[in-house]
Structure 1
Amino acid sequence: MPKTTLISPVKRAAGDVTTVAVRKPDVGALRGLKLTDVLQMDVNAISRLLPRITEPSLLPDEVAELDPADFLSLAAEVVGFFVTAEMKAEAEAELRLQ
């Protein structure tokens, strides 16, 4: 599971969290969320999902206080779990043409 290094560490009494791993969500973690909202990186949907799938587990208040760049990095990792190999290949081919 790849880890994301945070620009602004999460402050905790036990020590700052400087890296966060995001695991692939299962259906249970997605419960109560609209997949379209997750795929569109809706802040509310991603904010509800991250505490369920991060290691160390981020608390909802900690997610709300993330640096926007850190939030975007974590959200991009989440969306990446929904991309198929075919979709990745198409995107890479388009980038090579540009």
Structure 2
Amino acid sequence: MNINTENTAAAATAPAVAITAPGIPVGIPLDTPIQRGAQTITHVQVRKPNAGALRGLSLVEVLQMNVTALQTLLPRVTEPPLLKQEVAALDPADLVSLGTEVVGFLVPKAQREAFQPA
């Protein structure tokens, strides 16, 4: 088997978080890792919420990054799935990072494109 070392080296030096197309899960590095038993969670993947994940939530509260709304929504759209108590114990900077990704998924395409740098 022939391994392309150029691609391997490029992948090893690529940033942990890349800009992705809307709807594609995004990996977010945590400033303060989550300890779950013997497992340490250092990155959380956030996927675009569908209508089912948003059930029972006010879109206005989600867009305002209301902490209670995020505590309900993040366990539904994260991988590994975060527990509600883990979301409640998140470092505020990590909560803002995860919430910002969720809000970004909810912005219409035309508005996203209007704010893209040239």
Same fold, TM-score > 0.5, yes or no: yes
Aligned pair partner of 1:21 in 34, 39, 45 = 45
Distance in 2 separating the partners of 1:82 and 1:89: 13
Distance in 2 separating the partners of 1:62 and 1:92: 33
Per the normalisation by structure 2, the TM-score is: 0.75
Distance in 2 separating the partners of 1:24 and 1:85: 13
Aligned pair partner of 2:64 in 37, 40, 47 = 40
Which ranges of structure 1 fall in alignment gaps of 5 or more residues?
none
State the percentage of identical aligned residues: 51
Matched with 2:90 is 66
Q: Over aligned residues, Cα RMSD in angstroms?
A: 1.3
Per the normalisation by structure 1, the TM-score is: 0.89
For the pair shown, the structure with the greater C-alpha radius of gyration is 2
Q: How many Å apart are 1:20 and its aligned residue?
A: 0.1
More relative contact order in 1 or in 2 (CA 8 Å, sep 6+)? 1
Give aligned pairs, total: 94
What secondary structure, in the 3-state scheme, does the structure 1 residue paired with 2:36 have?
coil
